[in-house]
A and B are shown apart, each in its own frame.
Chain A
Amino acid sequence: AQSVAQPEDQVNVAEGNPLTVKCTYSVSGNPYLFWYVQYPNRGLQFLLKYITGDNLVKGSYGFEAEFNKSQTSFHLKKPSALVSDSALYFCAVRPTRGTYKYIFGTGTRLKVLA
């Protein structure tokens, strides 16, 4: 079965430190990969996506993600965390063949400590 895993329910990081939120996937072929962020009582907002090309993708608010095909991972990173980055982050995958469906991970809550 196709799946997306976010192994950490919560990540705590000090303000100014680098952050990583992990995502691995089990989907055949060459899927499209996404990161979304959800602030309290809001819908999900798009951060970045990988379709093809450079393995390092840059997105909104200074976030970037690194695609690793051999490890089937798509980790979200930021060089210097801000308190305002505290939110719920979702990794999502869209298989490229034969479906419009998206598969979401369970989410990782990022807490940036002042």
Chain B
Amino acid sequence: NAGVTQTPKFQVLKTGQSMTLQCAQDMNHNSMYWYRQDPGMGLRLIYYSASEGTTDKGEVPNGYNVSRLNKREFSLRLESAAPSQTSVYFCASTEGPSTDTQYFGPGTRLTVL
């Protein structure tokens, strides 16, 4: 049981480049989340998907887009990367609204030059 997986683990981009961060969970969870973690700021929610077919903005959505491809997969896209998007990105999932424990992936460390 792999839980939540993320690819890639590390990425370096130049300003203006685009990329997609992949996330998949094998726990049959309904809800999935994308966070960024910056020093001294904790985790901030970028986007979330309460269930397959729905997505909603979180606290810091600007510069990002998401796709809930199916129940397992939730991708995060940076269309035109900026240095301010240098961060560690975490994907998480929960079974649903009545089971609230979040399960996190190992993270993607992104550097934008």
Interface residues of A (CB under 8 A from B): 9, 32, 34, 36, 41-46, 49, 51, 90, 92, 94, 100-102, 104-107
- Compute how far the CA of A105 lies from the CA of B43 in the bound complex, rounded to whole angstroms: 7
Binds A, one of B14-22, B64-72, B73-81, B97-105: B97-105
Contact A44 B58 (CB under 8 A): no
The A-contacting residues of B in range 70-94, CB under 8 angstroms, are: 90, 92, 94
- Chain B residues 1-52 with CB under 8 Å of chain A are 4, 31, 33, 35, 40-45, 48, 50
Residue ID in chain A nearest B96 by CB atoms: A100
Whether B105 contacts A43 by the Cβ 8 Å rule is yes
Q: Are A45 and B104 in contact (CB under 8 A)?
A: yes
Interface residue tally of chain B, by bracket?
Answer: 20 to 34
Docked Cα-Cα span, A100 to B41, in Å, equals 20
State whether A102 touches B104 (Cβ < 8 A): no
Q: Which of B43, B103, B106 lies in contact with A104, CB distance below 8 A?
A: B43
Instruction: Determine whether the beta carbon of B107 is less than 8 Å from that of A94.
Output: no
Given A32-B100, A49-B100, do A43 and B4 touch, yes or no (CB 8 Å)?
Answer: yes
Cβ–Cβ contact A94 & B100, under 8 A: yes
List chain A residues, Cβ under 8 A from B42. Answer: 90, 104-107
* 27 A-B pairs in the complex with CB atoms less than 8 angstroms apart: A34-B100, A34-B101, A36-B104, A42-B107, A43-B4, A43-B90, A43-B107, A44-B43, A44-B90, A44-B92, A46-B101, A46-B102, A49-B100, A90-B42, A90-B43, A100-B56, A100-B94, A100-B97, A101-B48, A101-B58, A102-B102, A104-B35, A104-B43, A104-B44, A106-B40, A106-B41, A107-B42
Known: A43-B105, A44-B90, A102-B102. 18 other contacts (CB 8 A): A34-B100, A34-B102, A41-B107, A43-B4, A43-B104, A43-B107, A44-B102, A44-B104, A46-B101, A49-B100, A90-B43, A92-B102, A101-B58, A104-B43, A104-B44, A105-B42, A106-B42, A107-B42
